[in-house]
Amino acid sequence: MPRSIPFLFFDAVCFVIRGAYSLFLGWWLNPLLKRDGERTLRRQVMRDLPFLFKTFGAKFVSSGLKDRWGKIVTLEAGNLLLQIAWDRGEYFLAVAPFHAPTEWEPISVAHMAITATRPIYTAEDLPPALLFISLSELAPLLESEFELLQNAYSKEKYAATKPVLQKIDNILGISEVRYLVRTHVPAKKNSGPIQTLGL
């Protein structure tokens, strides 16, 4: 059934408005808004996660990542890289070892890997997911587990950590993590047992 004339007119008006915005405003306003959003996120990270800077000497580094809507900052803290993103009211956090900077995992998966205390056969055997609404809510738990994360992601231990992370990814149905990762995902399927890190 063809669309009615009012809808076609509305589509045409929207197309013209988007084009005018891109031509006259978007090319210079969007980068300004993005930089302002990243500055705001950096200030919030420094305010809500101060232990990263005081205890672990964190510093912001360039990631080269571009996201159309959200804001992303990358930090180097100890032997870890952290990506913290904010998009449409949600925070996302990913972690990677400094020596393997493309191997990002959601913080919830890393948390499960270092806190699992028994063999895992199905999603029901996984430790509870790490859920948080704000960075300040995450801060106490992240601070208490940060040395465990550094240990598990160290050059010496990462060879043992990586298969555990991959197995958890398989159980949760995570196929690939680049950036803007969610902190929790629904369970997808059962899988074989995994050896936990026992940290």
pLDDT at 49: 95
Q: Angle 158-172/107-115 helices, nearest 10 degrees?
A: 110
Read off the pLDDT of residues 128-179 as tens digits, 9 standing for 90 and up.
777 788 899 999 999 999 999 999 999 999 999 898 888 888 888 875 444 3
Domain boundaries, the chain: 48-172
Is the separation of the CB atoms in 172 and 96 below 8 Å? no
Which of 73-77, 78-82, 182-186 shows the lowest mean pLDDT across its residues? 182-186
- pTM value > 0.85: no
Token couple for 1 = 């059934």
Residue 121 has pLDDT above 80, yes or no: no
